[in-house]
Amino acid sequence: MQKVKQLHDALARNATSHNVAGGQFRYLDIITVLFVAVLLISNVASSKITSFAGLTLDAGTILFPLTYIFGDVLTEVYGYARGRRVIWMGFLCNIVMAAILMIVAVLPPAADWPNQKAFEAVLGLTPRIVAASMIAYFAGEFINSFILAKLKIRTKGKYLWVRTIGSTLAGELLDTLLFITIAFWGIFPTPVMISLLISNYIFKVGVEVLFTPITYFVVNKLKKVEHEDHYDRKTNFNPFALSVENK
């Protein structure tokens, strides 16, 4: 009986050999596409400041918390290293989108096209906003993934809600603090910045909590279908290393 338990634990800790490169997973590519799509859409939507449920938010915040849920699923099922590659994909796609929008904004409009100012107001991204978005995203997503991977080992794979919510509390705090500070310091009065920070943070963490049952369902289904439940015991946690292989 003890040997059976040891075998089960070994299978749970290690990726199956035919999935080492990630090419055999059935749903990893779908999750990757959804992660990047949600990231890009939320960044475009962030150009509008809105009031939602009594909170002052940039509109992208309504969708952005889903990137952390996708990040939780990626790390929990496929491991930190594969999640790291997806985070980098999102980072690079975001840079391309921002660069194209900034170039398009400065191109001279056609003589009979009257919407230049409207385009600049909505999609004319400034370098400061782009930098704030990039730095906040990079730091927050990696902190989220790192903490979840470490907590999974500490909790021996139990209490998924502790890992998803705990990692989000840290990742979203860093993300929100960096973005609000870098993007709006010296532009908005301090009380407005504090209000934005608190409102954004409460909303983002609230979404994570509310989606916990869905996260449980998706994670459990993926583990069964993918035959994968990765434990990052031998993982290189350097965010700049792109290999998915263990040490």
Q: What is the pLDDT of residue 226?
A: 95
Position 37 in a domain: yes
Range of the domain at 43: 26-106+117-226
State the CATH number of the domain containing residue 36. 1.10.1760
Nearest to 208 by CA among 39, 73, 34: 73
Q: What is the pLDDT of residue 44?
A: 85
Q: Give CA separation, 136 vs 25, 122, 133, in Å.
A: 30, 21, 5
Q: What is the pLDDT of residue 13?
A: 47
- Per-10-residue mean pLDDT for the chain, 247 residues long? 48 42 77 93 83 78 90 95 94 91 91 90 79 91 96 94 95 92 85 87 92 95 95 92 70
Q: What is the pLDDT of residue 218?
A: 95
Q: Which residues, other chains included, contact 40 with Cβ-Cβ below 8 Å and sequence gap of 6+?
A: 93, 94, 97
Position 126 in a domain: yes
Give the global pTM: 0.82
Nearest to 59 by CA among 195, 201, 200, 178: 200
Query: For residue 188, with 0-12 CB atoms within 10 Å meaning exposed, 13-18 middle and 19 or more buried, which class applies?
Result: middle
Q: What is the pLDDT of residue 237?
A: 94
Q: Which residues, other chains included, contact 173 with Cβ-Cβ below 8 Å and sequence gap of 6+?
A: 201
Q: How many domains does the chain contain in total?
A: 1
Position 7 in a domain: no
Position 232 in a domain: no
Q: What is the pLDDT of residue 10?
A: 46
Position 145 in a domain: yes
Position 1 in a domain: no
